[in-house]
A and B are shown apart, each in its own frame.
Chain A
Amino acid sequence: MNEKEKLIDKKGVRLDGRKADELRPVKLQVGVLSNADGSAYIEHGKNKILAAAFGPREMHPKHLAQPDRMVLRCRYHMAPFSVQERKSPAPSRREVELSKVIKESLEPALFLELYPRTGVDVFVEVLQADGGTRCASITAAALAIADAGVPMKDLVVACAAGKVDDTVVVDLFDAEDKLGTADVPVAYMPNLNAVTLLQMDGILTPDEFERAVNMAMDGCKKIYALQKEALKTKYMVVKEVEE
């Protein structure tokens, strides 16, 4: 990479002004859609994402129901206007894969065996993308499920880390995601110390990888505090009304 393409300057400041271990601003709101059983909205940097949860309810089509457990279905979808060049609304292979890994990042938080033959549907719509949409989607989707009153072992929260130029940094935004050398998205249940999503692409030494995972988990813990706050806020508003 030549000099002018540097993503981090000599003082260790990134293109968007952040330090290596600094997150983008995260804003969360719970209960934003009246028709869903649970919903949440996240702004993570310039990512703007809505998540809605429905259920547990009867599975349709019925043959997809499992006799011994609840089925979680997820659809991660990007709006055609969410990216620079219009994206076709038809689900891409990337979206199909992300739907699967997001589902598998949320399943460990649920008591699937308690509600056999039912299904919970989670719909994620990326309204604007700025790198790290799968992580922001998981953070919002977990809140939507909690808001639907579905029992959870813990909230699931996600954050990526990666390597940009020669530095391991947390929470890559679009340009870093595209031009950086590695990206490690992690989803985590902080109270149970359980990693529920882990992917990586790029090249990292084992040491760098370990640092990236730790950095991502630290990021998760910070966002977790905001997540809890957002969930409480919805129900605290109710309390204030009458006081």
Chain B
Amino acid sequence: MSSLVTKVRLKQIEQLIEKGKRLDERGLTDYRPIKIEQGLIERAEGSARVLLGKTEVLVGVKVETGEPFPDTPNEGVMTVNAELVPLASPSFEPGPPDENSIELARVVDRGIRESHAIDTEKLCIEPGKKVFVVFVDVYVLNHDGNLIDASAIASIAALMNTKMPNYEIKDGEIKIKQGYTPLPMKSHPITVTMAKINNRLLVDPWFEEEQVMDSRISIATNEDGNICAIQKGGSSYFTPQQILEATKIALDKAADLRKKLNW
């Protein structure tokens, strides 16, 4: 029961927060160091590994052809799946995806989808019949908190690294040609997650902070400074004022990260 052990820590964490400090010596709105490495999986059309402090996420992108959804016949398809791989944490167990991995996948998915990060219309091969399908698979390799932001950054980094096979249509058949073109992208959303502890907002909560947090809010924004996806989590609440404060912090932090990452 990790939640019981960390109750002792809670006081310590709370006392530090009152002074605007954290156990790992960050300020309340500081991210841990971020490291991105792209293209390390040659078999995948795109890939990226993100280190956010000790949290480590690998995203692989596979591109295949398939049918479009009936309501969007001119658009390619994107799906996100997340695996909380057992080697990443003693609390992860093998087996079908649980609510945590499904939520992670769907939050990452919404950030990409709602910001129109991928230009899906350019993934149409034959309207209503054949399109490119982009599979984004999030692999959590080490869980030290804030899987949402690490996975969101890794997913965009992997998509930016993704190469589409060139093709031509001959007699109604698709022929894959030599060479690749980059995946067409329109936006680079950045998701910023904050934990509420003792009525204060902490950016990029690490594992122990997540264990004691009251609730969590993740806000994805795009380069225009607009909000494109939000998810509240955890078993407590936010006041309306805290929500507005969180959106301001999310926009600020995303701008910082954009500069740092050159997105």
Question: Are A and B physically bound partners?
Answer: yes
How far is the CB of A205 from the nearest CB of chain B, in Å? Answer: 5
How far is the CB of A27 from the nearest CB of chain B, in Å? Answer: 27
Number of residues in B with C-beta < 8 Å to the partner? Answer: 37
**Chain B binder among A34-42, A98-106, A124-132, A225-233:** A98-106
Of the candidates A193, A197, A217, the one whose C-beta lies within 8 Å of that of B232 is: A197
When the two chains form their complex, are residues A200 and B230 in contact, meaning their CB atoms are under 8 A apart? Answer: yes
**Chain A binder among B26-34, B102-110, B163-171:** B102-110
Whether A196 sits at the interface, judged by CB under 8 Å, is yes
Task: Pick the most buried of A203, A210, A213, A214: most chain B CB atoms within 10 A of its CB.
Answer: A203
The A/B interface has a contact count, at CB < 8 Å, of 102
When the two chains form their complex, are residues B243 and A100 in contact, meaning their CB atoms are under 8 A apart? Answer: no
The chain A residue with its CB closest to the CB of B217 is A198
B103: which A residues are within 8 A, CB to CB? Answer: 96-97, 100-101
Number of residues in A with C-beta < 8 Å to the partner? Answer: 36
**Cα of A200 to Cα of B243 in the assembled complex, Å:** 12
The chain B residue with its CB closest to the CB of A95 is B102
Of the candidates B97, B222, B227, B237, the one whose C-beta lies within 8 Å of that of A196 is: B237
Chain B facing A: main interface SS: mixed
Known A-B contacts A100-B103, A203-B114; A210 and B228 likewise in contact (beta carbons under 8 Å):
no
Task: Pick the most buried of B1, B97, B227, B240: most chain A CB atoms within 10 A of its CB.
Answer: B227
B231: which A residues are within 8 A, CB to CB? Answer: 101, 198-199
Task: Pick the most buried of B106, B113, B222, B234: most chain A CB atoms within 10 A of its CB.
Answer: B106
Smallest CB-CB A-B distances: 10 pairs: A194-B237, A107-B235, A200-B230, A198-B232, A108-B237, A100-B99, A201-B114, A196-B237, A96-B102, A97-B106
- Residues of B at under 8 Å CB distance from A? 1, 3-4, 97, 99, 102-103, 105-106, 110, 113-115, 215, 217, 222, 225-240, 243-244, 247-248, 251
- Residues of A at under 8 Å CB distance from B? 66-68, 93-94, 96-97, 99-101, 104, 107-108, 112, 184, 189, 192-206, 209-210, 213-214, 217
